[in-house]
Amino acid sequence: MLLLVIPCSFKKKWSNEIEKQSFTREEEVKFESSIGELRSEIIAGRRKYQALFRDKPIPALDRCSGLLYTTQDSLRPNLVSATRRRKVTVLILSGAYGAVTASERIHWYNQQLELDHWRTHRLPSPSQT
Q: Give 82-92 pLDDT, tens digit per residue.
A: 889 888 888 88
Q: CA distances (Å), 67 to each of 9, 25, 37, 71, 78, in order?
A: 8, 26, 33, 6, 17
Range of the domain at 28: 2-124
pLDDT above 50 for 120 = yes
Structural domains of the chain, count: 1
> In terms of pLDDT, which residue wins out, 79 or 10?
79
121 φ/ψ sector (left φ>0, alpha ψ -120 to 50, else beta): alpha
Q: pLDDT-based confidence at 121, cuts 50/70/90? A: low
Q: What are the tens digits of pLDDT across the range 45-73?
A: 677 666 677 788 899 988 888 777 776 66
- Assess if residue 129 is contained within a domain: no
The pLDDT > 70 percentage for the chain reads: 71
Give the 3-state secondary structure of 16-65.
Answer: HHCCCCCCCHHHCCCHHHHCHHHHHHHHHHHHCCHHHCEEEEEEHHHHEC
